[in-house]
Amino acid sequence: MDKTDPIYRADCPSRIVLDQIADKWSMMVLEVLREPQRFNAIKRRLDGVTQRVLTQTLRKLERNGMVKRKVLDGRVLGVEYSLTPLGESLQGPFSILFNWTLGNMDAIQDCQRRYDEQSQQLQN
């Protein structure tokens, strides 16, 4: 009999949700969408994201109910993305994690440097 807590089991749906919302691009998109944005405005804000990856990320977030996609009528068709109430509910936890990352970035980079130096010395 398997006594593994259900939330740690490989088939727990939470693993899929965490995988889909906790990757770097999803977190950054959710941060950028504090205000509704068009696709190209999001892409300009997220240096390094490709059009393909941004499209996939937005679709994934839309499928999970975090982001709403709205087609804008007018002479030039456009699409605007905004957070749903579910997506907005992630802003608090993600802001804490994002600010923690920024506040500890130097310490983490120092640890990485020391680790790499020690690993290099062991290899020599």
- The domains located in the chain, with CATH, are 6-89 (1.10.10.10)
Q: What is the pLDDT at residue 2?
A: 55
Average pLDDT over residues 16-39: 90
Residue 73: pLDDT band (50, 70, 90) is confident
Q: Residue 33 pLDDT more than 80? A: yes
Strands ordered across the beta sheet of 37-38: 37-38, 78-83, 67-72
Give the chain's mean pLDDT. 90
Which residue reads 């709403």 in tokens? Answer: 68
pTM above 0.75, yes or no: yes
What is the pLDDT averaged over residues 69-89? Answer: 92
Average pLDDT value for residue range 20-43 = 92
